[in-house]
């Protein structure tokens, strides 16, 4: 396996408040890696750093061996946010947006992705008029249309109904298994991590407590805090 | 009359276009980028939004008069001087209201479109597009401010018939002459022009 991301000695602060402290972490090409942990643990901050939307206060993040990757490399990485903000435009225009940024308009590809997330009937509708689950699917579609090498998912199914959860999870699985997309899934839902990921890490107070293969992580956790978290004993 | 109407539209139209071309990007930059002395600049802009046109006219007059720093341009009592004065009146309105409109767009959107691969310039244009109702309102407010002002154009234009007479200065002149009927008719024309222009400007918002 090839290492896609390598994080070393990462420290990150917001206004003097420490939020992230990761000594060493490698993310391999093609893996579906889930980070679990309570709210405020630093999971979303980690995604922003991996998407090069922010620079760490200290330490180095390498993507494909580059600490400051150029635009064409950072454009291989995209994030689906927990609370997606859509443009005040149609569903089609929202999904097409990233392609337009790259001067690669492709109506057929956009229509296919919209159909894939089950919103073909709403392609011409105003994105503002859709429900939370539908908006989350648009957010996923606007990321997938870019054929990203790395997909960063920040609680992509939080507060969604079971139908939407199941649909989004199946797309995530398909994207990873069939297209080989590297996926980093941030979730507070341990069951979702268990269902989807090949590797899982627990983050608490900005630190990665334990990282392991999904089976080992859930069945033979090495750290007591991991055991408590997966058993639902940790109150947060 | 047609000459007055066309000069009014020419002077205010050109001034508005210049103020929009300069003011909208500056407003966006002020809202989106880290700018030194931002609070002081904002204070100056807000003060500029309430700048009395006659004071602007006086300043432009001094600069463009023969002894002034820009006297060599020979613009005093020409439409160029009127346009200059109107740009100065419109610019703080366009910049200030554009800044406010852009700042009202959810800041999280910037992060999200950057994650889709937007460059800093693409972020700026996308946010401006999202703030377009506010930006159009800024342009409409600036247009209303300059087409209706009389002090500055009177001072720097001189209200010369066939050369620098616009609707507002013509209204003043006809009122002084006691021809209230013509003054009122000119006022009606000015209102209609403003209405029609605003109609087209607001249509931009719906696109």
Which pLDDT band, with edges at 50, 70 and 90, does A232 fall under?
confident
Burial A16-25 (b: 16+ CB within 10 A, else e): eeebbbbeeb
Portion of chain A with pLDDT greater than 70, in percent: 99
Structure confidence by residue, pLDDT tens digits, B70-125: 989 989 999 999 999 999 999 999 999 999 999 999 999 999 999 999 999 999 99
Q: What is the pLDDT of residue A38?
A: 87
The span from the CA of A94 to the CA of A113, in Å, is 12
Mean pLDDT (whole number) for A78-92: 95
Considering chain B, what is the average pLDDT of its residues?
Answer: 92
The parent domain of residue B43 ranges over 2-206
How big is chain A by its Cα radius of gyration, in Å? 18
The span from the CA of B128 to the CA of A98, in Å, is 17
Helices (H) then strands (E): counts for chain B? 10, 0
Residues of chain A neighbouring B118 (CB-CB closer than 8 A): 101
Mean pLDDT (whole number) for A6-30: 92
Mean pLDDT (whole number) for A178-188: 94
Considering chain A, what is the average pLDDT of its residues?
Answer: 93
Q: What is the pLDDT of residue A92?
A: 97
Taking an 8 Å Cβ-Cβ cutoff, which residues of chain B contact chain A? 106, 108-109, 111-119, 122, 126, 129-130
Mean pLDDT (whole number) for B169-192: 94
Mean pLDDT (whole number) for A24-33: 96
Q: What is the pLDDT of residue B162?
A: 84
Task: Tell me which chain B residue has its CA closest to the CA of residue A152.
Answer: B115
Q: What is the pLDDT of residue A200?
A: 96
Structure confidence by residue, pLDDT tens digits, B45-79: 989 898 899 999 999 999 999 888 898 998 999 99
Portion of chain B with pLDDT greater than 70, in percent: 99
Q: What is the pLDDT of residue B206?
A: 65
Å between B20 CA and nearest CA of chain A: 23
- Structural domain tally of chain B? 1
Q: What is the pLDDT of residue B207?
A: 57
H/E/C letters for each residue in chain A?
CCEEEEEEEEEEEECCEEEEEEEEEEEECCCEEEEECCCCCCHHHHHHHHCCCCCCCEEEEEECCECCCCHHHHCCEEEECCCCCCCCCEHHHHHHHHHHHCCCCCHHHHHHHHHHCCCHHHCCCEHHHCCHHHHHHHHHHHHHCCCCCEEEEECCCCCCCHHHHHHHHHHHHHHHHHHCCEEEEEECCHHHHHHHCCEEEEEECCEEEEEEEHHHHHHCCCCHHHHHHHCCCCCC
Interface test with A, best of B109, B116, B205 (most A CBs within 10 A): B116
Task: Determine whether the interchain pair A87/B116 forms a contact, defined as Cβ–Cβ distance below 8 Å.
Answer: no
Task: Tell me which chain B residue has its CA closest to the CA of residue A79.
Answer: B115
Task: Determine whether the interchain pair A146/B118 forms a contact, defined as Cβ–Cβ distance below 8 Å.
Answer: no
Give the distance from CA B12 to its chain's centroid.
8
A192 reaches B (C-beta below 8 A): no
Portion of chain B with pLDDT greater than 90, in percent: 77
Beta-carbon contacts of B33 under 8 Å, excluding residues fewer than 6 positions away, are: none
Task: Determine whether the interchain pair A101/B109 forms a contact, defined as Cβ–Cβ distance below 8 Å.
Answer: no
Residue A189 has pLDDT above 80, yes or no: yes
Which pLDDT band, with edges at 50, 70 and 90, does A5 fall under?
very high
Which pLDDT band, with edges at 50, 70 and 90, does B2 fall under?
confident
Per the model's pLDDT, the better-predicted residue between A160 and B124 turns out to be B124
Q: What is the pLDDT of residue A231?
A: 84
CA distances from A230 to A196, A217, B21 (A): 15, 9, 58
CATH of the domain at B93: 1.10.3720.10
Q: What is the pLDDT of residue B86?
A: 96
Mean pLDDT (whole number) for A138-142: 95
Q: In what order do the strands lie in the sheet with A77-80?
A: A58-63, A3-14, A17-28, A207-213, A199-204, A32-36, A182-187, A150-154, A77-80
* Cβ contact A205:A42 at 8 Å: yes
Mean pLDDT (whole number) for A195-219: 94
A97 reaches B (C-beta below 8 A): yes
Q: What is the pLDDT of residue B131?
A: 94
Task: Determine whether the interchain pair A53/B126 forms a contact, defined as Cβ–Cβ distance below 8 Å.
Answer: no
Q: The complex's ipTM? A: 0.91
Residue A98 has pLDDT above 90, yes or no: yes
* CA dihedral (A103, B121, A4, A14) positive or negative: negative
Q: What is the pLDDT of residue A234?
A: 66
A102 reaches B (C-beta below 8 A): yes
Task: Determine whether the interchain pair A143/B116 forms a contact, defined as Cβ–Cβ distance below 8 Å.
Answer: yes
Interface test with B, best of A97, A113, A127, A140 (most B CBs within 10 A): A97
Q: What is the pLDDT of residue A236?
A: 55
């Amino acid at each position: 396996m090839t290492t896609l991301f390598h994080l070393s000695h990462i420290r990150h602060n917001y206004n003097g408040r420490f939020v992230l402290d990761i000594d060493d972490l490698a993310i391999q090409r093609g893996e579906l890696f889930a980070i679990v942990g309570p709210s405020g643990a630093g999971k979303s901050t980690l995604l922003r750093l991996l998407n090069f939307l922010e620079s760490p206060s200290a330490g180095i993040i390498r993507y494909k061996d580059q600490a400051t990757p150029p635009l064409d490399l950072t454009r291989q990485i995209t994030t689906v946010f927990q609370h997606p903000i859509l443009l005040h435009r149609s569903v089609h225009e929202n999904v097409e947006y990233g392609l337009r940024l790259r001067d690669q308009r492709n109506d057929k590809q956009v229509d296919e992705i919209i159909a894939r997330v089950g919103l073909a009937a709403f392609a011409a509708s105003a994105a503002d008029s859709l429900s939370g689950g539908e908006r989350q699917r648009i957010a996923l579609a606007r990321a997938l249309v870019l054929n990203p090498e790395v997909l960063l998912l920040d609680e992509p199914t939080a507060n969604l109904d079971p139908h939407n959860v199941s649909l989004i999870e199946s797309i995530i699985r398909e994207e990873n298994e069939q297209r080989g997309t590297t996926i980093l899934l941030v979730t507070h839902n341990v069951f979702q991590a268990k269902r989807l990921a090949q590797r899982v890490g627990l983050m608490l107070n900005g630190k990665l407590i334990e990282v392991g293969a999904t089976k080992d992580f859930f069945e033979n956790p090495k750290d007591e805090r991991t055991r408590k978290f997966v058993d639902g004993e940790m109150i947060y | 009359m047609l000459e007055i109407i066309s000069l009014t539209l020419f002077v205010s139209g050109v001034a508005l276009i210049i103020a929009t071309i300069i003011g909208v990007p500056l407003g966006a930059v002020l809202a989106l980028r880290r700018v030194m002395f931002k609070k002081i600049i904002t204070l100056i802009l807000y003060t500029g939004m309430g700048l009395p046109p006659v004071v602007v006219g006086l300043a432009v007059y001094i600069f463009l008069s023969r002894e002034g720093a820009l006297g060599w341009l020979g613009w005093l009592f020409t439409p160029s001087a009127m346009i200059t004065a109107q740009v100065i009146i419109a610019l703080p309105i366009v910049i200030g209201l554009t800044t406010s409109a852009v700042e009202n767009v959810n800041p999280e959107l910037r992060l999200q479109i950057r994650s889709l691969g937007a460059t800093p310039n693409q972020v700026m244009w996308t946010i401006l597009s999202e703030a377009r109702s506010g930006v159009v309102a800024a342009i409409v407010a600036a247009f209303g401010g300059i087409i209706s002002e009389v002090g500055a154009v009177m001072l720097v234009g001189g209200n010369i018939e066939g050369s620098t007479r616009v609707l507002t200065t013509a209204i003043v002149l006809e009122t002084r002459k006691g021809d209230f009927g013509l003054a009122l008719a000119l006022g009606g024309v000015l209102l209609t022009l403003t209405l029609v222009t605003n109609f087209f400007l607001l249509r931009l918002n719906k696109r």
